[in-house]
Amino acid sequence: MGMVEDGDEGRLSVGAPKEWAAGVPGVAHALEYALGQTSVRRAALTLLNVNQAEGLDCPGCAWPEPGRRHLNEYCENGAKHVADEATTRRVTPDFFRRHPVSELDGKSDQWLNQQGRLTEPMVRRPGSDHYEPVGWDEALGLVARELKALESPDEALFYTSGRLGNEAAFLLQLFARAFGTNNLPDCSNMCHESSGSALIQTLGIGKGSVSLDDLHAADLVFVVGQNPGTNHPRMLSALEETKRRGGSVVAVNPLPEAGLKRFKHPQKARGVLGRGTQIADVFLQIGVGGDLALFQALNLLLLQAEDAAPGTVLDGAFIAAHTTGFAEFAEHARLTTWPDVLEATGLTREQIEDVHERVLASEKVIVCWAMGLTQHKHGVPTIREIVNFLLLRGNLGRPGAGVCPVRGHSNVQGDRTMGIWERPPAWFLSALGREFGFTPPAAHGLDTVNAIRAMRDGKAKVFLGVGGNFVRATPDSEVTEAALRSCRLTVQISTKLNRSHTVCGETALILPTLGRSDRDAQNGVEQFVTVEDSMSQVHSSRGKLPPASEHLLSEVAIISRLARLTLRDGPDLPWAEFEADYDTVRDRISRVIPGFEDFNARVREPGGFRLPNPVNEHVFNTPQGKAVFTRNAFTMLKAPEGHLILQTLRSHDQWNTIPYTANDRYRGIKGSRRVVMVNPEDLEDLGIADGSEVDLVGVWEDGRERRAPGFTVVSYPTARGSAASYYPETNVLVPLDSVADVSNTPTSKGVVVRLEAAP
Strand pairing of 537-541 and 609-610?
Answer: antiparallel
Shortest distance (Å) from residue 728 CB to ligand MGD: 6
Asked if residue 373 binds Mo ion (CB under 5 A), the reply is no
Closest to Mo ion by CB, 81 vs 393, is: 81
Would you put residue 108 in left (φ > 0), alpha (ψ -120 to 50) or beta? beta
Shortest distance (Å) from residue 408 CB to Mo ion: 3
DSSP letter string over 667-685?
GTEES-S-EEEE-HHHHHH
* Distance, CA of 241 to CA of 230 (rounded, Å): 19
Per-position x/- string for 178-197, each x denoting binding to Mo ion as judged by CB under 5 A, each - no binding: -------------x------
- Nearest in space to 407 (alpha carbons), one of 216, 162, 595: 162
Closest to ligand MGD by CB, 226 vs 743, is: 226
Closest to Mo ion by CB, 194 vs 502, is: 194
| Interface positions with ligand MGD (CB under 6 A) | 60-61, 77, 161, 163, 187, 190-191, 224-227, 230-232, 252-255, 257, 286, 288-289, 291, 370-372, 375-376, 408-409, 466-470, 473, 493-496, 498, 513, 515-516, 555, 647-650, 654-658, 727, 730-731, 734, 748-749
Per-position x/- string for 379-408, each x denoting binding to Mo ion as judged by CB under 5 A, each - no binding: -----------------------------x
Shortest distance (Å) from residue 285 CB to ligand MGD: 9
DSSP letter string over 296-317?
HHHHHHHHHHHHHSTTSSS-HH
Closest to ligand MGD by CB, 234 vs 322, is: 234
Closest to ligand MGD by CB, 254 vs 271, is: 254
Helix (H, G, I), strand (E, B) or coil at 609: strand
Closest to ligand MGD by CB, 516 vs 754, is: 516
Closest to ligand MGD by CB, 508 vs 627, is: 508
Q: Which residues pair with 463 in a beta bridge?
A: 157, 490
Shortest distance (Å) from residue 259 CB to ligand MGD: 9
Shortest distance (Å) from residue 455 CB to ligand MGD: 15
Closest to ligand MGD by CB, 319 vs 696, is: 696
Per-position x/- string for 132-171, each x denoting binding to Mo ion as judged by CB under 5 A, each - no binding: ----------------------------------------
* Distance, CA of 269 to CA of 68 (rounded, Å): 18
Report DSSP state, residue 18: P
Q: Which does 411 bind (CB under 5 to 8 A by kind): ligand MGD, Mo ion, none?
A: none
Which residue spans within 591-732 are E strands per DSSP?
Answer: 609-610, 627-628, 644-649, 654-655, 658-659, 669-670, 675-678, 693-698, 706-715, 722-726
Residue 6 and residue 115 in contact, taking contact as beta carbons nearer than 8 Å: no
Q: Which does 262 bind (CB under 5 to 8 A by kind): Mo ion, ligand MGD, none?
A: none
- The DSSP element (H or E) to which 541 belongs, if any, is strand 537-541
* Distance, CA of 62 to CA of 228 (rounded, Å): 12
Q: Which does 608 bind (CB under 5 to 8 A by kind): Mo ion, ligand MGD, none?
A: none
Shortest distance (Å) from residue 437 CB to ligand MGD: 29
**For the chain, how many residues are written?**
759
Which residues within the stretch 432-491 sit at the binding site for Mo ion (CB under 5 A)?
none
Strand pairing of 722-726 and 675-678?
Answer: antiparallel
Residue 556 and residue 585 in contact, taking contact as beta carbons nearer than 8 Å: yes
Contacting residues for 509 by C-beta, under 8 A, at least 6 apart: 121, 122, 123, 124, 134, 139, 142, 143, 489, 490, 491, 492
Instruction: Name the residues that contact Mo ion, by CB under 5 A.
Output: 191, 408
